[in-house]
Amino acid sequence: MQELREAIARYGQGIGQNIVKVDMFLNHRIETGLLFRMGEELARRFQDAKPDLILTVEASGIALALATARAMNDLPVVFAKKGATVVQSPDVAEAKVYSFTHKRENVIRVDKKFLPQGSRVLIIDDFLADGQACQGMMALCAQTDCPIVGIGIGIEKGFMQGGKNLRAMGINLTSLAVVTGIENGKILLADD
Amino acid sequence: MQELREAIARYGQGIGQNIVKVDMFLNHRIETGLLFRMGEELARRFQDAKPDLILTVEASGIALALATARAMNDLPVVFAKKGATVVQSPDVAEAKVYSFTHKRENVIRVDKKFLPQGSRVLIIDDFLADGQACQGMMALCAQTDCPIVGIGIGIEKGFMQGGKNLRAMGINLTSLAVVTGIENGKILLADD
């Protein structure tokens, strides 16, 4: 997606070998117009997948999931939670996810009643790196017998294994921008 | 807001004396159409406040903040983060917040460059209980010399002190629904 690639080139910072910092417009400060155009583009790419709901994981996935849902006739959004709350339902699906950014293992959880059996699930996340978050959400869907009709990503780190692994599984995965590497702080991007 | 009051009456669960569970449509599963109408109503109430940006705190505040921002000509949304990340900027504003839901103290943080000095800030959050999260966000704004032009809330627990304290400070605070109490699992609501 050309506009996203331009925003990454203009505002993104590459740090070290593999950190892509886009907190200026995507995951700390949100450039609202761009975000909704990203959601519209994902909606366009998945219009034939006919999802019943969108699944993401808190916190930074929520914005893009919601923008996509808005562009798909206000599909419901379910966001998996990290860590238990006081009022948690006992009937939850759980999966372990190692967070690359935070360097720790999280458990993500979703109340099973929000993934009704047989629901066609579109997974949306802002980033795809080693694919742990997506694999965790897929594990949640497996526990509730929900087919995954696709995975839509804002920015994919194409130099990591997550995307390759998911595509090798036959998942219908699309990313709005693919980072191919970082050189001297510059973020290198694949062509659209 | 009538539609929100109806959703609370239909889908909300009151637990004990003070837990208002609305995860069916607001903070675990999001009913997207309703959420955007909530944002439109908050935008209408704050149209004269002329904010430059919307500030919220992850995770569940993000959705309503974004819906409000969308209805205010795509204002930028900044969400304060809980807990440090690997790539955090050193120049952050910080505040301590006790989470009533999770029964623990969090530090919330925002990169100062996303709250430029003098920016007119509209604070949005899904819930207002004892007001800790709002007070924390106000402390962040104080550190960057940003005036707060208003606070918009989805659901206020009117039987707790948060709203009273903020109004006593002269803050322009509005809530789309006010819970006055919980009786035998039933959520009692103030009239609009």
DSSP string, chain A: -HHHHHHHHHH-EEETTTEEE-TTTTSSEE-HHHHHHHHHHHHHHTGGG--SEEEEETTTHHHHHHHHHHHTTS--EEEEEES--TT--S-EEEEEEEETTTTEEEEEEEEGGGS-TT--EEEEEEEESSSHHHHHHHHHHHHTT--EEEEEEEEEETTSSHHHHHHHTT--EEEEEEEEEEETTEEEE---
pLDDT at residue A116 greater than cutoff 90:
yes
Q: Are B60 and B35 in contact (CB under 8 A)?
A: no
pLDDT at residue A99 greater than cutoff 90:
no
Nearest alpha carbon to residue B59 among B81, B90, B76: B81
- Confidence at residue A108, expressed as pLDDT on a 0 to 100 scale: 94
Q: What is the mean pLDDT of chain A?
A: 94
DSSP-based three-state secondary structure for B42: helix
Q: How far is B64 from chain A (nearest CA, A)?
A: 10
- Cβ within 8 Å, pair B28-A81: yes
Residue of chain A minimizing CA distance to B85: A102
Q: Are A187 and A159 in contact (CB under 8 A)?
A: no
pLDDT at residue A85 greater than cutoff 80:
no
Sequence-ordered list of residues with C-beta below 8 angstroms from that of B81, at least 6 positions apart, any chain: A28, A59, B58, B108, B109, B110
Tell me the C-alpha distance between A31 and A124, whole Å.
18
Q: Which residues of B touch A30 (CB under 8 A)?
A: 66, 69, 76-79
**Mean pLDDT score, B95-102:** 81
Q: Are A75 and A106 in contact (CB under 8 A)?
A: no
What's the one-letter identity of residue A72? M
- Confidence at residue B87, expressed as pLDDT on a 0 to 100 scale: 55
**Mean pLDDT score, A11-34:** 96
- Confidence at residue A101, expressed as pLDDT on a 0 to 100 scale: 67
- Confidence at residue B102, expressed as pLDDT on a 0 to 100 scale: 72
Among B40, B78, B85, the residue to mutate for chain A (most A Cβ within 10 A):
B85
For the question of whether the overall pTM of this predicted structure is more than 0.90, the answer is yes
Confidence of residue B85 (pLDDT cuts 50, 70, 90): low
Residue of chain A minimizing CA distance to B19: A87
Q: Which residues of A touch B59 (CB under 8 A)?
A: 58-59, 62, 79, 81
Q: Are B181 and B188 in contact (CB under 8 A)?
A: yes
Q: Extract the tokens encoding B115.
A: 């709250």
- Confidence at residue A87, expressed as pLDDT on a 0 to 100 scale: 55
% of chain B at pLDDT higher than 90 = 89
**Is the CB of residue B85 less than 8 Å away from at least one CB of chain A?**
yes
Tell me the C-alpha distance between B68 and B41, whole Å.
8
% of chain B at pLDDT higher than 70 = 96
Nearest alpha carbon to residue A156 among A140, A180, A192, A134: A180
Q: Are B60 and B124 in contact (CB under 8 A)?
A: no
What's the one-letter identity of residue A82? K
- Confidence at residue A120, expressed as pLDDT on a 0 to 100 scale: 98
- Cβ within 8 Å, pair A102-B83: yes
Q: Are B82 and B112 in contact (CB under 8 A)?
A: no
**Is the CB of residue A91 less than 8 Å away from at least one CB of chain B?**
no
- Cβ within 8 Å, pair A63-B60: no
What b-and-e string marks burial along A128-154, b requiring 16 or more CB atoms within 10 Å of the CB?
bbbbbbbbbbbebbeebebebbbbbbb
Q: Which residues of A touch B58 (CB under 8 A)?
A: 58-60
The DSSP 8-state label assigned to residue B36 in this structure reads: H
- Taking the CA of residue B164 as centre, how many other CA atoms within 13 Å lie in the half-sphere pointing to its CB? 7
Q: What is the mean pLDDT of chain B?
A: 94
Q: How far is A112 from chain B (nearest CA, A)?
A: 11
**Mean pLDDT score, B24-46:** 98
Q: Which residues of B touch A32 (CB under 8 A)?
A: 66, 69-70, 74-77
